[in-house]
Amino acid sequence: MEKLTQEQRESLKKLNTDRLCARLVKCGVGEEVVFTSEREHLLNMMAGIMLQPESVAAVSEPTPAETFEMRRRELDLKEKELDIQLEMHRQQQEAERKQHDVQLELQRQQLENERQQQAVLLQQQAAQREQYEKDLELRKAEIRLQEQRAAEELKICREEIERLRAKDQQEAERKNSLISQTKRFGDILKHVSPRMPSDPGELINFFDTCENLWAVYKVPKELRAKLLLPLLTPKAKSLINRLEAQALADVEQIITCLLNEFSFNKQRIPSSI
């Protein structure tokens, strides 16, 4: 463009775009290149052609028909370009739509998986809660059974304690009773107490021995007469049968009676008697 004369540049700039394109096509430039180039690039291409002497002669003013044909071709080419752009835009939108659908499907699947996982989790929690309630009820039943058993055992234990207490009380009463005491001391002295001798001369020693044994075993005085009676001979028993019941319960009166019956001097009676 800079190599052209001032006149050539002015003449070239006055050409409108359509006539400029027609001349370039007539000079052999491809239509697709011409119709897709900017005006500045078209002017540079035309300037290059004008700088070639052999090409200047070939360049002539296009006829109206040629201009119209060039314009039609340009429009057809632009229409094709527009169709191509529209198709590319449609394909791009279709691809974006498909990608959007894929994303939506992925989100839907993700939500469905989360929903299923949540449902499984809720089922597990429900099963765990149900199992926990069953275990709790079973534990409560076991505790109630243990409490019932403990109450029964406590009742049995109390009854046994009461029974043993009553038995001990009865035993104490029995031991404290005259009969039981007599029997108890009789069992104790049964193997150590001597029998009444048939020789009257040995009576004093016999009564001394009995007194000593009663003192050793701490036999109450009210029991001594009853413990002495089994030790007497049949003759002595027949002699004291003449005593009154009150006298038979007094060991001193029994011993005094027997000594009198066997004619002993009162001074020889043991001082303890």
pLDDT in tens, 20-36: 777 777 777 777 777 77
Q: Which of 62-66, 147-151, 157-161, 204-208 has the lowest mean pLDDT?
A: 62-66
Q: What residue type is assigned to position 251 of the chain?
A: V
pLDDT at residue 174, as a whole number: 65
Residue 157 lies in a domain: no
Last residue of a domain, one of 84, 105, 124: 84
Residue 149 lies in a domain: no
How many angstroms separate the CA atoms of 181 and 220, rounded? 9
pLDDT at residue 84, as a whole number: 84
Q: Residues 36-82: pLDDT tens digits? A: 777 787 777 877 777 776 554 445 555 667 667 666 776 776 777 78
Q: Residues 196-249: pLDDT tens digits? A: 998 888 989 999 999 999 999 899 898 899 999 899 999 999 988 888 888 888
Of residues 90, 93, 30, the one with CA closest to residue 82? 90
Residue 109 lies in a domain: no
Alpha carbon of 118 to those of 21, 107, 109: distances in Å? 70, 16, 14
Residue 121 has pLDDT above 80, yes or no: yes
Q: Return the structure tokens found at 177.
A: 């009773």
State the DSSP code for 63: P
Residue 164 has pLDDT above 80, yes or no: yes
Residue 169 lies in a domain: no
Contact by Cβ (8 Å): 27, 49: yes
Q: What is the mean pLDDT of residues 92-103?
A: 91
Domain that holds residue 28: 6-84
How many angstroms separate the CA atoms of 71 and 21, rounded? 9
pLDDT at residue 248, as a whole number: 87
Kindly report the average pLDDT of the chain as a whole number.
Answer: 82
Rounded to 5°, angle at Cα 111 from 108 and 116: 125
pLDDT at residue 82, as a whole number: 82
Residue 112 lies in a domain: no
Residue 144 has pLDDT above 60, yes or no: yes
Residue 10 lies in a domain: yes
Contact by Cβ (8 Å): 9, 1: yes
Q: What is the mean pLDDT of residues 240-259?
A: 89
pLDDT at residue 66, as a whole number: 63
Last residue of a domain, one of 84, 106, 130: 84
How many angstroms separate the CA atoms of 146 and 137, rounded? 14
Select, from the ranges 116-120, 181-185, 190-194, the one with the highest average predicted confidence (pLDDT). Answer: 116-120
Task: Tell me phi and psi for residue 239, to 5 degrees.
Answer: -70, -40
Q: Which of 6-20, 106-120, 150-164, 201-215 has the lowest mean pLDDT?
A: 6-20
How many angstroms separate the CA atoms of 218 and 227, rounded? 13
Residue 198 lies in a domain: yes
Residue 128 has pLDDT above 90, yes or no: yes
Residue 120 has pLDDT above 90, yes or no: yes
State the DSSP code for 38: -
Higher per-residue confidence, 145 vs 8 = 145
Residue 172 has pLDDT above 60, yes or no: yes
How many angstroms separate the CA atoms of 12 and 43, rounded? 7
Q: How many domains does the chain have?
A: 2
Last residue of a domain, one of 84, 110, 128: 84
Contact by Cβ (8 Å): 239, 257: yes
How many angstroms separate the CA atoms of 24 and 54, rounded? 14
pLDDT at residue 62, as a whole number: 57
Longest pairwise C-alpha distance within the chain: 204
HSE (CB half, 13 Å, CA atoms) of 16? Answer: 5
Residue 256 lies in a domain: yes
User: Percent of the chain having pLDDT more than 90?
Assistant: 36
pLDDT at residue 57, as a whole number: 43
Got the DSSP string for 109-177?
HHHHHHHHHHHHHHHHHHHHHHHHHHHHHHHHHHHHHHHHHHHHHHHHHHHHHHHHHHHHHHHHHHHHS
**pLDDT class for 1, splitting at 50, 70, 90?**
low
